[in-house]
Amino acid sequence: DIVMTQSPDSLAVSLGERATINCKSSQSVLSSSNNKNYLAWYQQRPGQPPNLLIYWASTRESGVPDRFSGSGSGTDFTLTISSLQAEDVAVYYCQQYYSTPFTFGPGTKVDIK
């Protein structure tokens, strides 16, 4: 299984400031056949199902605000919220879909400072 780790476990950021979450996979999720990273990011607000934010490591899902961006390749990835808004308080998960079983990171909780 590909093990996903995230850091930090939680962070508190002032409104309007940048939040950065890191995700690491135990093996590369970059496909040599199509040069795509099989990595997604999800946001889960309290009491809600997860919501897809980013796929292919850096492609924003339709309707997702452009303050969310994803970067990285191979085994190291980052989700950045450029200017934190109150509605961004949530837990964020990375997930690899390179190979089964698909696996999620443990999550990073983002709060307002």
Q: Which stretch binds other proteins (CB under 8 A): 7-15, 20-28, 42-50, 71-79?
A: 42-50
From the list 50, 46, 102, 108, the residue with the least C-alpha distance to 78 is: 108
CB of 8 to other proteins, least distance (A): 15
Q: Which stretch binds other proteins (CB under 8 A): 12-20, 37-45, 71-79, 80-88?
A: 37-45
- CA dist., res. 86 & res. 66, Å (int): 15
**In the chain, how long is the greatest CA-to-CA distance?**
43
Confirm or reject binding of residue 70 to other proteins (CB under 8 A): no
Cα separation, 71 vs 75, whole angstroms: 11
The binding site for other proteins (CB under 8 A) comprises 1, 31, 34, 36, 38, 40, 42, 48-52, 55-56, 61, 93, 95, 97, 100-107
